[in-house]
Amino acid sequence: MTDRARPQRLYLDTPVTYLKGVGPSRAEALRRLGIVTAGDLLFHVPHRYEDASTVAAIRALEPGMQGTVIGTVISKGVIPTRKGLRIFQAVLRDETGMIEVSWPGQPFLDRTIQKGDVLLVTGNVRFFHGRQLQPREFINLGDEEGATAEGRVLSVYPATEGLSFKLIRSIIDAHLDALLPLVTEYLPADALRRAGVPGIADALRMVHRPSSIAEANTGRSRLAFEELFFVQLLQQRAKELARERRAGITFVNKRSLTTKLRETLPFHLTGAQARSIREIVADMCSDRRMHRLLQGDVGSGKTIVALFAALLAIENGYQAAIMAPTELLAEQHARTMTRVLEPLGIAPILLTGSLPARERKVIAKRLESGEPVLVVGTHALVQDATVFAKLGFAAIDEQHRFGVEQRKALGAKGEAPDVLLMSATPIPRSLALTLYGDLDLSMLDERPPGRQAIATALRPESARARVLRFIDRQIEQGRQGYVVYPVIEESEKTDVKAATTMFDALSGGPFQERRLALLHGRIPADERDAIMRRFREREIDLLVATTVIEVGIDVANATVMLIEQPERFGLSQLHQLRGRVGRGADESYCILLGDVSPEAAERLQIFVRTEDGFEIAREDLRMRGMGDLFGERQSGVPTFRIADPLRDEALNERARAAANALLARDPGLEKPEHAGLRRVLGERYARSLELFRVG
């Protein structure tokens, strides 16, 4: 396109095709990155930076140092090792000297790095047949940029095929001065003041053309705050609208059954349990339908809290239901509740799919009659054949194990029952308030007194025989245990130990005199339940399993948990597995067995040193990212491009406070000064169209 055909003035909505340096092919590549207009280009921010302002001279590097250098490739090649590993090596030179740079296992770099290229490399220096730099990060500056890179902070942009980060950087840099004056502030001044972040134009300059890493981080904090602020606005507005529309049952706190339960419990409630019960009772006694998440660590006492809520419904003449993901867990809940409720003269009903048809009919008649009862069951509770005449309260245990439709189906039983979702996956409060922002939140962040600490240790493969003898001694003393493996079957492609193979090895070797059983996800559900019942009844000494046992198994006699190849598991998953032992009065043990890398050992030591599920979850999320840890609940949360609700926890709290303050003043964002905010919300989040009068 000729300059004459280009528009004389630049606007944020100018198509990128009209920008200098962007032709049709580059415009197509930019489109793949979601960049269609000049404004999109402005908000395409770097995903990392290389600090060339602190570049060291190659001659100054010493073994044991960490350093950043810029040098020209004077030779390169791929070197094979005796073990079959192929190492790409290059020699870099600057005006002070030369150094060898080594990339083990990355021979493909030989195709992308050429003699004469200028590399910026950051890494550790070691001595191996001379000084050698092992890169942690590197940028190929090509053969042009090296001379101008030193002394700068280099922005590294998300790129795509046919469009390198250097090309993107040059396009943005060429138009930045013209684009920045076109951006007008759309966040309220008091929100920016609360957060302590710069205005949008300053922030964009800082992220694209920073003078230091600290300045780049300041600019990034504004953009991260913005994303968190928008999400908090959407979540809190959705919650308020739902409350307005959500007429519910207004229960009366009669304190008949609930007070009697508190008096007859063989233990004192923790402060966190008492606080959560007060929050739930306040919800249930309001005229709005409760929709609350109860989050607690393994063994924090969620079931007792749900039981108080169920009794509040029953003493008001309503029915209550508690749904669990497996028959085994439903049976455990029913047994626990039967024991606790016996002094009150209440016997819970157990409803599962395996009950004989005759028993299910009897239960169905009781539910259809409107009799105020407590029913504990599985997904059988949400089947069409199960009709509640007067359901007032529904609790869903291990809520992430159910699909959205199953959760909705139980909430749809009766006219408008109060709903309590329960989860044993601890999430830091700030993150939970973001992911589950449309729910009210109660947290059990306190362990009941007297619960045994579980001795936890990481042992190398050389300790295998000693560890297995220890487990055998536990069995000899009348205890039981678990051995957990990462997969069901072996594969030629990996060296991961498999439950089926190791079951044969253990039952035919060190535990041939013991009673073993195999449990994994491919075994039919009814057979799995039968195996667990036999384990609970002490007919099985040692259960060899996959992670199918991580939730809902309560066997007080099990005192030892052996987890093989622990580096294959997330910390939160390991914590759930450890929670299967230590449920009785005897000392319990969790042993991680295997030779692991130094990095994995560092991660696993976090698990070894603490039993605090919230601390473990925080570290797990920090290392692995959120991933799909939160299942379908996360699907309603807009994707974060810049913010990280965990890493930016303090910023997230400020965003929540700012959103609260704004919605208190202007719930519909209808004031003229919020027109820009409404516009940006409408452009970025379709969901906002339902919540605010946008556009």
Question: Taking a C-beta distance cutoff of 8 angstroms, is the pair 44, 168 a contact?
Answer: yes
Average pLDDT, the chain: 85
Hey, what long-range contacts does 96-100 have (CB within 8 A, 24 or more apart)? 96/57, 96/58, 96/59, 96/60, 97/57, 97/58, 97/59, 98/58, 98/71, 98/74, 99/58, 99/61, 99/69, 99/71, 99/125, 99/131, 99/132, 99/133, 100/130, 100/131, 100/132, 100/133
Task: State how far the Cα of 5 lies from the Cα of 3, in Å rounded to an integer.
Answer: 5
Residues 93-131: tens digit of each pLDDT: 988 999 999 888 888 888 888 898 888 888 888 887 778
Report pLDDT for 526.
80
Three-class SS state of 540: coil
Model confidence band, residue 485 (pLDDT cutoffs 50, 70, 90): very high
Question: Percent of the chain having pLDDT more than 90?
Answer: 42
Question: Are β-strands 97-104 and 558-564 bridged in parallel, bridged antiparallel, or unpaired?
Answer: unpaired
Query: What mean pLDDT comes out for the span 78-94?
Result: 84
Contact residues for 324 (Cβ-Cβ < 8 A; gap 6+): 330, 333, 376, 377, 378, 397, 398, 552
Residues 265-309: tens digit of each pLDDT: 988 899 999 999 999 999 999 988 898 999 888 778 899 999 999
Task: State how far the Cα of 344 lies from the Cα of 380, in Å rounded to an integer.
Answer: 27
Report pLDDT for 626.
54
Task: State how far the Cα of 171 lies from the Cα of 38, in Å rounded to an integer.
Answer: 10
Report pLDDT for 315.
95
Task: State how far the Cα of 376 lies from the Cα of 261, in Å rounded to an integer.
Answer: 18
Beta bridge partners of 484: 545, 563
Report pLDDT for 148.
53
Query: What mean pLDDT comes out for the span 478-498?
Result: 76
Report pLDDT for 244.
67
Residue 180 phi, psi (nearest 5): -55, -40
Look at residue 570 and tell me whether its pLDDT is greater than 80. yes
Task: State how far the Cα of 3 lies from the Cα of 18, in Å rounded to an integer.
Answer: 9
Look at residue 676 and tell me whether its pLDDT is greater than 70. yes
> For residue 683, what are its two tokens?
């452009």
Report pLDDT for 35.
92
Residue 463 phi, psi (nearest 5): -95, 5
Look at residue 541 and tell me whether its pLDDT is greater than 80. yes
Query: What mean pLDDT comes out for the span 8-32?
Result: 87
Alpha carbons within 13 angstroms on the beta-carbon side of residue 229 total: 27
> For residue 558, what are its two tokens?
């099990």
Task: State how far the Cα of 598 lies from the Cα of 464, in Å rounded to an integer.
Answer: 19
Residue 653 phi, psi (nearest 5): -65, -40
Look at residue 625 and tell me whether its pLDDT is greater than 70. no
Place of tokens 């269609």: 36
Nearest to 34 by CA among 21, 19, 16, 18: 16
Q: Which of 402-406, 591-595, 621-625, 679-683 has the highest mean pLDDT?
A: 591-595
Better pLDDT: 638 or 457: 457
Nearest to 207 by CA among 161, 155, 247, 141: 155
> For residue 519, what are its two tokens?
């449990």
Look at residue 336 and tell me whether its pLDDT is greater than 50. yes
Look at residue 178 and tell me whether its pLDDT is greater than 50. yes
Report pLDDT for 469.
96
Report pLDDT for 528.
85
Question: Are β-strands 97-104 and 86-94 bridged in parallel, bridged antiparallel, or unpaired?
Answer: antiparallel
Model confidence band, residue 635 (pLDDT cutoffs 50, 70, 90): very low
Task: State how far the Cα of 4 lies from the Cα of 19, in Å rounded to an integer.
Answer: 12
Three-class SS state of 225: helix
Model confidence band, residue 8 (pLDDT cutoffs 50, 70, 90): low
Model confidence band, residue 636 (pLDDT cutoffs 50, 70, 90): very low
> Which has the minimum average pLDDT: 54-63, 331-340, 350-359?
54-63
Model confidence band, residue 491 (pLDDT cutoffs 50, 70, 90): low
Report pLDDT for 4.
45
Look at residue 260 and tell me whether its pLDDT is greater than 90. yes
Question: Percent of the chain having pLDDT more than 70?
Answer: 89
Report pLDDT for 149.
56
Three-class SS state of 1: coil
Report pLDDT for 467.
96
Model confidence band, residue 627 (pLDDT cutoffs 50, 70, 90): very low
Look at residue 630 and tell me whether its pLDDT is greater than 60. no
Question: Taking a C-beta distance cutoff of 8 angstroms, is the pair 426, 616 a contact?
Answer: yes
Model confidence band, residue 637 (pLDDT cutoffs 50, 70, 90): very low
Q: H/E element holding 26?
A: helix 24-32
Look at residue 359 and tell me whether its pLDDT is greater than 60. yes
Report pLDDT for 693.
61
Look at residue 506 and tell me whether its pLDDT is greater than 90. yes
Report pLDDT for 138.
80
Nearest to 206 by CA among 42, 19, 16: 42
Place of tokens 């055909």: 5
Q: Which amino acid is at 11?
A: Y
Report pLDDT for 496.
60
For the beta carbon of residue 627, count every other beta carbon within 10 angstroms.
10
Residues 425-461: tens digit of each pLDDT: 777 777 777 777 768 889 888 877 767 789 999 999 9
Look at residue 631 and tell me whether its pLDDT is greater than 70. no
Model confidence band, residue 628 (pLDDT cutoffs 50, 70, 90): very low
Report pLDDT for 550.
65
**Alpha-carbon dihedral of residues 311, 315, 320, 322, nearest 10 degrees?**
10
